Amino acid sequence: QVQLVESGGGSVQAGGSLRLSCAASGRTLDSYAMGWFRQPPGKEREFVAAINRSGSVTSYSDSVKGRFTISRDNAKNTVYLQMNSLKPEDTAVYYCAAQLTGTTYGIKTRGDNNWGQGTQVTVSS
């Protein structure tokens, strides 16, 4: 229903920063909770961060809390993930997700997320 395209990935040195963007088309994002997940090499996809439809509630995995910030600009139909103090273990393909419950709980628990194609983040030591 909604198409998502991630951008902003790349290769950075440990301690550096990147900002990922997720642009939506086909639907406006104001009804959707949004989230970021990642899949490290050889591992399963894991939750990173989520934000509710209004931007008033955010949720983070323990591994990124204090380093990553999720935000959204519904007027631009875009969600962001600011990643600071990057570590080699942050290396993964990062995926954007959208969920119609509009809640951070929903995007982490329901199986009907819309997904982007992913963008590669590589952090070297």
> Residues 36-76: pLDDT tens digits?
999 999 999 999 999 999 999 999 999 999 999 999 998 99
The pLDDT value recorded for residue 10 is 98
The pLDDT value recorded for residue 109 is 87
Residues 6+ away with beta carbon under 8 Å from 7: 20, 21, 22, 23, 119
> Residues 66-120: pLDDT tens digits?
999 999 998 999 999 999 999 999 999 999 999 998 999 999 888 778 999 999 9
Does residue 26 carry a pLDDT above 80? yes
C-alpha to C-alpha distance for 84 and 107, rounded to whole angstroms: 23
Mean pLDDT of the region 18-37: 95
Mean pLDDT of the region 2-30: 96
